[in-house]
Structure 1
Amino acid sequence: MIKILYLVPNLSDPAVARRVAMLTLGGAEVEIAGFRRSDAPAADLPLDRVVELDITHDSRMLQRLLATLKARYRVREWGRDFSRPDVIVARNLEMLAIAHGLAQLWPTPPALVYECLDIHRMMLRQDGIGRAMRAVEQRLLQPTSLLLTSSPAFLTHYFDKQGAPPATLVENKVFATGHDGVGRNPALSGRDSPIRVGWFGALRCAKSLAALDAVSRTLAGEVEVVLRGRPALVEFEDFYGTTNAASHLSYAGTYRYPDDLAAIYSDVHFVWAIDFFEEGQNSSWLLPNRLYEGCLNGAIPIALAGTETAAFIERLGIGVVIPDIAEKTLLELFSSMTPELVREHAIKVGAQDKRRFRCDAAECVALVGQLARLAGVKPELEIAA
């Protein structure tokens, strides 16, 4: 059985727990080390060994840098808790820096894998800081055997220019073992009016909030918008003030993944898959979780022209692509959505192969098999798969 040591920047991140579950389902033995965010509880992961390196703070880059340097300096102390892994998977750049030091603890260094699912704005700066960060990344990538990333646009717009190692695409598909049921667009059950739009997940785009609030006010009940998830409050002038005062837009709190997905997406006709958080850069290149969650459960995606999300739904022949989110554009969009047209869009989404949006056991086995081959280890589940 392949042994994987997973280094992560946030032990309590639900996405980390999902990746651990994927690797375990694929046939790997997983151990983990990483930081914990100050506002998060201690990690509750079903693993024999979980090592917390330090506590870090969200949006405090200097503090996180110092914590990374400290963990890198002390690697011989905490690294003794682990026997030699076959592969070290480092999630994000700071963990790759730590992985380099950790790999030197053993006479035969483990294979290094870099998992990068977002391109931070600092990496894209065109000043001395940005150039320095990219140089550091290039240096750390040299002995790395494999890159795991979630969108082809990250490769074409960034990593191909960085001289990255061979890459494998691991999309943000829904990973929900034991939850085989999926949702259904309400239009297919005759619930046509009002049109309901869902914006779920990481809520961090002030432009989207303003646009959805404005169009729902203007249409005065013809369109209702519901928000669910965790708002990044520092990105909004007054998130709760705006949502509480809105006439036809509401914030319904957080939701349980994957338990609530079918129910919350079955309650909306459209999923808002637009984000201007890092406009023209990361936001244009990513394929967000809500895209896969929504499409799996029948919601019609709305995407912005020129983004990877728009290219994704255009390849599948589903959803709606708009040139901008100006109020005039959104008014025209929703005013044109007759019940018949909404049902037509919903039928196209519902007809898609669910494997396009949901990660199954075979994909987990394939991923672990690829990691095993990097280390020259025979993947136990490859034959069974």
Structure 2
Amino acid sequence: MTLNVLYLAHDLADAAIRRRVLTLKAGGASVTVAGFERGANVLSDERDVPTIVLGRTADARFAQRIGAVVAARMVLKRKLSGITRPDVIIARNLETLALAGHAASLFDRNVPVVYECLDIHRLLLDEGIKGRLMRQAQRFFGNRASLLITSSPAFVENFFKPRSGLDLPVLLLENKVLALKPELMPASVAPRPPRQGAPWRIGWFGAIRCRKSLDSLIDFAARMDGRVQIVLRGRPAYSEFDDFDAKVSAAPHVEFHGAYRNPEDLAAIYGDVHFTWAIDFFEEGLNSSWLLPNRLYEGGLHGAVPIALSGTETGRFVEKRDIGVTLDNAMPETLEALFEGMTEARYADLASRISIIERNQWITGQAECQALVSRLAALHPNLSSPADMPVVSTVQS
């Protein structure tokens, strides 16, 4: 029996939404998506995935997003009329969790709800009245959920267990590369030093939202005067920068090449760089210290050496596997010292360590997709099946 999933998406422009939908489909599920627009819909080419627009939201406009969720709730019955009755509802982020219980009641109050949270918003961590209200809202709407999906063990240990007030089993799904087409995956990776006289290239790919990283990299690239180039690709959070496009355009030895498709373009874009920028100060000391970003897995699969920050979950990941460079800070002078001493031999040593890591560290394959769908099916009282995907812990307040 096919598992019918209703996926409530916080942002139809987020590439991670497409990856999760493709993962569910590869696992044998049928997926309908209902969500909010902020940019181009990443599911527009997925013709067998019905997509319903619930409204439009904007980055860094919290009040507007609350209004959009309230408005969506008022029309949810009409918007969801005629879709296949879901066996499970997955709500990505708090704003769609607020809709999930009502959506379930439109079909069957026994429909299980899964809360998927891959970033901890700064307001959930605020010690003031706003933070308390946010956590109360999460507890209220989370009472309807049967499972929490998150992407880093540090999220569980630092927020969900001690502070969220939720009492849910947890499924850890790291931000690995979805590997369903062998022709898109590298057979092997090997060091690829720059040709004689060419610069080292550092790739910062994916969600570009860290002003501190951008400023440091621009300053660093200027100091290196052409010996290092910075390559940016992905989706900038324009609300976090004064004028991203003008700043990057004016910066010497810094390139921005726009969005890319994941996983279709990964081999080409990571094959074009030597290092992956895996440092993030967007919510410094909080979410940024706990996350394990997509680029860490994408770069690892394709042999790009990660540059990470000590004391963060990403830094611990890199240090544990001895596969990259960890720094105490990301100041331009620190980066300058690192690359003043970067030789072809040192780079070859760093890159060769990545090449011996088991590929399953970086990828989600067909078996993992099927295990996820099996785990979701086990939540439904009438679709019980073996839970092949282990629960890693339980969130308890």
TM-score, normalising length: structure 1: 0.92
5+ residue gaps, structure 1, are none
2:185 equivalent among 176, 181, 185? 181
CA contact (8 A) 2:184 2:267 kept: no
Equivalent residue, structure 2, for 1:20: 21
Equivalent residue, structure 2, for 1:31: 32
Moved more, 325-334 or 123-132: 325-334
Distance 1:11 1:194, change over 3 A: closer
5+ residue gaps, structure 2, are 389-397
Distance 1:147 1:336, change over 3 A: same
Equivalent residue, structure 1, for 2:311: 306
1:241 aligns with 2:243: no
Q: Separation in 2 of the partners of 1:281 and 1:192? A: 40
- Matched length: 381
2:200 equivalent among 195, 201, 207? 195
CA contact (8 A) 2:309 2:326 kept: yes
1:150-171 Cα offsets, whole Å, 9 max, x none, are 1111111111122331111111
1:71 offset after TM fit, Å?
2.0
Secondary structure, in 3 states, of the residue corresponding to 2:379? Answer: helix
1:24 offset after TM fit, Å?
1.1
1:336-384 Cα offsets, whole Å, 9 max, x none, are 22211110000001111121111101110111111111114155998xx
Distance 1:149 1:270, change over 3 A: same
1:191 offset after TM fit, Å?
6.6
1:139 offset after TM fit, Å?
1.7
TM-score, normalising length: structure 2: 0.89
User: Partner amino acid for 1:175?
Assistant: L
1:331 offset after TM fit, Å?
1.9
1:59-97 Cα offsets, whole Å, 9 max, x none, are 322222112112223333334333432211111111111
Q: Separation in 2 of the partners of 1:106 and 1:295? A: 43
Moved more, 300-309 or 99-108: 99-108
Equivalent residue, structure 1, for 2:165: 163
User: Partner amino acid for 2:260?
Assistant: Y
CA contact (8 A) 1:368 1:379 kept: no
1:323 offset after TM fit, Å?
0.3
Distance 1:193 1:349, change over 3 A: farther
1:282-334 Cα offsets, whole Å, 9 max, x none, are 11111111111111100000001111111111221211110001223112211
Distance 1:249 1:116, change over 3 A: same
User: Partner amino acid for 2:176?
Assistant: K
Moved more, 50-59 or 156-165: 50-59
1:261 equivalent among 257, 263, 266? 266
Q: Separation in 1 of the partners of 2:68 and 2:250? A: 40
Q: Separation in 2 of the partners of 1:251 and 1:126? A: 37
Equivalent residue, structure 2, for 1:208: 213
CA contact (8 A) 2:191 2:352 kept: no
Secondary structure, in 3 states, of the residue corresponding to 2:81? Answer: helix
Q: Separation in 2 of the partners of 1:327 and 1:75? A: 50
1:297 aligns with 2:299: no
> CA RMSD, aligned part only?
2.3
CA contact (8 A) 1:11 1:36 kept: yes
User: Partner amino acid for 2:135?
Assistant: R
User: Partner amino acid for 2:97?
Assistant: L
1:51 offset after TM fit, Å?
2.3
Q: Separation in 2 of the partners of 1:122 and 1:131? A: 9
Q: Separation in 2 of the partners of 1:52 and 1:238? A: 29
CA contact (8 A) 2:378 2:387 kept: no
1:19-75 Cα offsets, whole Å, 9 max, x none, are 1111111111222222222x4359523336332222333332222211211222333
Equivalent residue, structure 2, for 1:154: 155
Equivalent residue, structure 2, for 1:126: 127
1:188 offset after TM fit, Å?
5.8
> Percent same amino acid at aligned positions?
45
